[in-house]
Amino acid sequence: MKVLVAGGAGFIGSHAVEALRGAGCLPVVVDNLSRGAYLPRPSFYRLDLLSFELKTVLQRERPKVVIHLAAQVDVGLSVADPLLDARENILASLNLLQGCLAAGVAKVVFASSAAVYGEPQRLPMDEGHPCQPTSPYGAAKLSVEHYLGVFRTLYGLEYTILRYANVYGPRQSLLGEGGVVAAFCRRLQAGHGVKIYGDGEQTRDFVYVGDVARANVLALVKGDGETMNIGSGEEISINRLSRLLQAKFPGSPAPSFHAPRPGDLRRSVLDPSRARRLLDWSPKMPLPEGLGETARFYHDFEWR
């Protein structure tokens, strides 16, 4: 099966490309390289999703499925510049969907986010949890989810929506909520203690990038018309995360604590049971082992 991966040179995208190849698929990558530079060979197009050439590429390659991972992922930037965020996350997605229709694409697998839920009203958050995003980034992700529903109803373009928890692993950038793992690794690698905002008892749901890539491969042929959480289902405090990572960098200093950041959620964890039922997916990588893989990658990493 030929699969076009939008954003396939980035953090999650590059792992998805590897997983697709491992499953016997033929991946084609479109990426503007603004978020990553893990270049696949040979089927790579350096393109922005808003470019006119995107439709030409889709019609030339004729993929059966498109995995849409391209995004502006900095929540803070979305707050500072909502128009830019809407351009990169809503308008670019619409241009991709229009191109999919013109090229006869059968299905889109869309990378959404736990940010669509906003402040938790209950935990763990399942897919029936109210969606009240508290950032333009979350609002944009939810908007694209709605557009996918409209395109399915009007034009028959199939979809599966995957709402990610905090994805971590090798090749992660410092951007986005899940970037805390990369940020901690950067400081520990440099011999500094990690910075923790607040008391460190705030919790998040961390899911390994290899498990996320596997969910995308499964969604190629499963979960039509469905929305599913992709997370570990386990609440991890930032203090525990810090201790686990410090153990991977022996001799590292103790963390320093700073004033809480405005708008930070106190607790967050997703319920992944629907993905277990509909995709036959569940996370396989335990957090300590996943952090070990991540730390090994960053031990010799040259930050830019």
The beta-strand segments (E) located in 147-237 are: 158-164, 166-168, 195-197, 203-204, 206-208, 226-230, 236-237
CA 217 to chain centre: 14
Q: How far apart are CA 178 and CA 10, in angstroms?
A: 14
Torsions phi, psi of 29, nearest 5?
-110, 135
Q: How far apart are CA 205 and CA 13, in angstroms?
A: 20
Q: Which of 107, 57, 115 is nearest to 216 (CA)?
A: 107
Catalytic option among 117, 137, 164, 168? 137
Whether residue 165 contacts residue 229, with contact meaning beta carbons closer than 8 Å, is answered with yes
DSSP letters for 81-148: -HHHHHIIIIIHHHHHHHHHHHHT--EEEEEEEGGGTBS-SSSSB-TTS--B-SSHHHHHHHHHHHHH
Structure tokens at 158: 């199939």
260-265 contact pairs (CB < 8 A, 24+) = 260/197, 260/198, 261/197, 261/198, 263/134, 263/135, 264/197, 264/198, 264/202, 265/119, 265/120, 265/202
Is 159 among the catalytic positions?
Answer: no
Instruction: Supply the Cα-derived Rg of the chain in whole angstroms.
Output: 19
Torsions phi, psi of 24, nearest 5?
85, 10
- Residues annotated as part of the active site: 137
